[in-house]
Amino acid sequence: MDVQPFLIDNTWVTGGGEPFVSSNPADGSELAMVGSADAADVDAAVGAAKRALENPAWRDLKPHERARLLHRIGELLDADSENLARLQMRDNGKTLRECRVLVAEAAASFRYFAAVCETFEGELPPPRGDNWPVTVYEPVGVVGAITPWNSPVTLEAQKLAPVLAAGNSIILKPSEVTPLIALEHARIALEAGLPPGVVNVVSGGGDVGRALVGHPGVDMISFTGGTKTGSAIAEEAGRLLKPVMLELGGKSPNIVFADADMAKAVKGAGNGIFSGGGQSCIAGSRIFVDETIMDEFVEGLRAFAQNYRIGPPEDEGTDTGPLASFAHRDRVEEFVEIGRGEGAKVLTGGARPADGVLAKGAYYPATILTGLDNSARICQEEIFGPVAVILPFKGEDDLIEQANDTVYGLAAGVWTSDYRRAWRVARAIRAGTIWINTYKQSAITSPFGGFKQSGLGREKGLQGMRAYMEPKAIYWSMD
C-alpha cells in the first residue's frame, strides 16, 4: 500500500513519523496507509504558515477576494460530495445518508463564512474630544486546529472556514482514527488556488497535536475533542499564554415533562442518543422523565430502540452503522458493563451482535439502561456511544438540580407543551445549546459551545470568525 502524503506549503510530503493504518470499522479492512508527521514536519508547517501570513497573495486579499476563494472551496466540496460522503463513511462508519448531509453542511460552512467575511465590520466608537478611537480586527496569525473522529468533514470545515475567512493561516491535525477527509480538504484547498502555506495538514496522533500546541510559532489552538485532552491542551497553552478555543465533551440531559407530546418526545429522545451511534458530543445521553409518565415513555423508547436498524452504513435502510473503531466499541461495551456492575437494568441492547456481517465490524446496538440515579458513573461520564440512561424526576426543581448535576454543559432538550415552563427550564439549565420540542438541530448562524467542562469559546455565527481575530484599538488625534 502506498503511503498517503499530507500537505505542507502546498507540497505533498510523507513525513518523518511512523506511517499508520486507517481502517474501515464496518469490516476491519485496511483503507489506507497514512504518512505521519514528526516534530520537524510540524516545524516546517509552522514556518510555511508564518510565511503565508506575510505573502501579499494572501495577506493583501480584499474581503470579497477571500470570500471568492471560500465559495470556490464550497463548490468543490459540493462537486465531489458523493465521493467525500463515501470516504467519510468508510473511514468512520457513519451511514451514507448522514455522511451526505455532513458534506453538504461542510460546503455550507464555507459559503456562510464567505458571507461573514464580506460583511464583517470594524467599529467607530464615539470620539473623545479630538481623539478618534477606531476598533479594527486583525487575524490572530497561525492557527493550529486539532479535530476528533466523529464527524471529520464538518468539524474540520467548521475550523477551516472561519479561520481562513478571518485571514489567518492554518495547520490542521485530524484524528489518527479518521485521517482521510482532512487530506481531501487539503486537496480541495490546493485546487481552489490558495497560496502556499495557507492551509497545511499534518497527519498523526496525539504527539503531533502536542507538538503543534507547544510550538512557539502557533498563535492560537482550536481544539475539538475529549475533555481530558482539552484540559491538557489548556494547561500547556496556559503556560505559553496562547489563546485556545475548546469544544469538548458532554452528558446532555434530554427532559420529558408529563405534558409533552409523547410520540414526538420518544422519537426525539431516541434520535437524540442513537443517531450516529451516539458518537456525538451533543448526544442526549441522560433522558430525564417525569415519574408519572415513566412506564409509558420507557415502553415507547424500548420499541424505538428495538426498531432502530443497525447495519452496513451504505444500506439505505440502515439507521446506524458501526462505531468509528473497534477500540471505541470495546470502550462503549466496557461502560455498559460498568453500568451493570452499578446495578443498572438493561432494557434492550447491551451486547455486540454475534452473527453475520455485523460480527465482523465494530457494531454496537441501541442500548437502554434504567434503575440508576444520576450519581452513577455511567450517568456522569461521557460514553460517546448508543447508550441511553433513563432517570426519573419529581417536579421542576428536582429536575433542574439533577440536570445541572454534571461537570458538562454542552446541550439539553426540553419536551413540554407549556411554553412558560420551556422558557424557565431553558434559562435554568447551564448549557450552551437548548432545544425545545426538538433535538440536535443546528444552524451555522448560531453560536455553538459549552458551559463548564464542555469547553471554552464558541464556534459558528458571526462570533465564530471573530474568535480567530485580535481586536485592536487605534486612537487617532485630530488635534
Q: Mind telling me the catalytic residues?
A: 247, 281
Residues 267-286 that bind ligand NAD (CB under 6 A): 281
Taking a C-beta distance cutoff of 8 angstroms, is the pair 247, 224 a contact?
yes
Cell numbers describing residue 429:
439549565
- Which of 9-17, 22-30, 45-53, 243-251 is the region at the interface with ligand NAD (rule: CB under 6 A)? 243-251
Residue 230 Cβ vs ligand NAD, minimum distance, rounded to whole Å: 7
- Which of 67-75, 141-149, 296-304, 314-322 is the region at the interface with ligand NAD (rule: CB under 6 A)? 141-149
Binding of ligand NAD at residue 150 (CB under 6 A)?
yes
Cβ distance to ligand NAD smaller for residue 192 or 245 = 245
Residue 209 Cβ vs ligand NAD, minimum distance, rounded to whole Å: 2
Among 182, 215, 382, 457, which residue interacts with ligand NAD (rule: CB under 6 A)? 382
Among 25, 74, 93, 148, which residue interacts with ligand NAD (rule: CB under 6 A)? 148
Taking a C-beta distance cutoff of 8 angstroms, is the pair 384, 328 a contact?
yes
Residues 352-381 that bind ligand NAD (CB under 6 A): none
Cβ distance to ligand NAD smaller for residue 281 or 305 = 281
Binding of ligand NAD at residue 384 (CB under 6 A)?
yes
Residue 367 Cβ vs ligand NAD, minimum distance, rounded to whole Å: 18
Cβ distance to ligand NAD smaller for residue 133 or 226 = 226
DSSP, res 451: S
Classify residue 54 by burial, with Cβ atoms within 10 Å: 0-12, 13-18, 19+. Answer: exposed
Among 96, 201, 248, 434, which residue interacts with ligand NAD (rule: CB under 6 A)? 248
**H-assigned helices in 351-407:** 356-360, 377-380, 396-404
Binding of ligand NAD at residue 229 (CB under 6 A)?
yes
Q: Is residue 476 classed as helix, strand or coil in its secondary structure? A: strand
Residues 1-60 that bind ligand NAD (CB under 6 A): none
Cβ distance to ligand NAD smaller for residue 311 or 450 = 450
Binding of ligand NAD at residue 173 (CB under 6 A)?
yes
Cell numbers describing residue 207:
504527539
Torsion of CA 450, 452, 455, 458, to 10 degrees: 40
Binding of ligand NAD at residue 464 (CB under 6 A)?
no
C-beta nearest to ligand NAD: residue: 209
Residue 242 Cβ vs ligand NAD, minimum distance, rounded to whole Å: 12
Among 152, 195, 196, 209, which residue interacts with ligand NAD (rule: CB under 6 A)? 209
- Measured CA to CA, the distance from residue 28 to residue 393 in angstroms comes to 42
- Closest alpha carbon to 161 in 232, 242, 76: 76
Residue 194 Cβ vs ligand NAD, minimum distance, rounded to whole Å: 22
CA dist list (Å): 144 to 87, 168, 204: 24, 10, 14
Binding of ligand NAD at residue 393 (CB under 6 A)?
no
- Measured CA to CA, the distance from residue 95 to residue 100 in angstroms comes to 9
Among 146, 163, 237, 298, which residue interacts with ligand NAD (rule: CB under 6 A)? 146
- Measured CA to CA, the distance from residue 108 to residue 101 in angstroms comes to 10
The sign of the dihedral angle between the CA atoms of 386, 391, 396, 398 is negative
Cβ distance to ligand NAD smaller for residue 328 or 352 = 328
Beta bridge partners of 139: 469
Binding of ligand NAD at residue 447 (CB under 6 A)?
no
Residues 397-436 that bind ligand NAD (CB under 6 A): 410
Cell numbers describing residue 456:
471554552
Cβ distance to ligand NAD smaller for residue 196 or 225 = 225
CA dist list (Å): 413 to 257, 290, 341, 422, 427: 11, 14, 28, 10, 12
- Closest alpha carbon to 410 in 385, 388, 435: 435
Beta bridge partners of 367: 387
Cell numbers describing residue 440:
440536535
Residues 53-112 that bind ligand NAD (CB under 6 A): none
- Which of 27-35, 245-253, 266-274, 330-338 is the region at the interface with ligand NAD (rule: CB under 6 A)? 245-253
- Closest alpha carbon to 233 in 155, 144, 331: 144
Binding of ligand NAD at residue 232 (CB under 6 A)?
yes
Binding of ligand NAD at residue 175 (CB under 6 A)?
yes
Residue 331 Cβ vs ligand NAD, minimum distance, rounded to whole Å: 9
Cβ distance to ligand NAD smaller for residue 63 or 226 = 226
Taking a C-beta distance cutoff of 8 angstroms, is the pair 73, 170 a contact?
no
Cell numbers describing residue 61:
486579499
- Which of 74-82, 112-120, 226-234, 286-294 is the region at the interface with ligand NAD (rule: CB under 6 A)? 226-234
* Residue for grid cell 448535576: 405
Beta bridge partners of 118: none
Q: How many residues does the chain have?
A: 479
- Which of 39-47, 94-102, 142-150, 299-307 is the region at the interface with ligand NAD (rule: CB under 6 A)? 142-150
Cell numbers describing residue 370:
434504567
The sign of the dihedral angle between the CA atoms of 416, 420, 425, 431 is positive
Which residues of the chain form contacts with ligand NAD (CB under 6 A)?
146-150, 155, 173, 175-176, 205-206, 209-210, 213, 224-226, 229, 232-233, 247-250, 281, 382, 384, 410, 450, 455
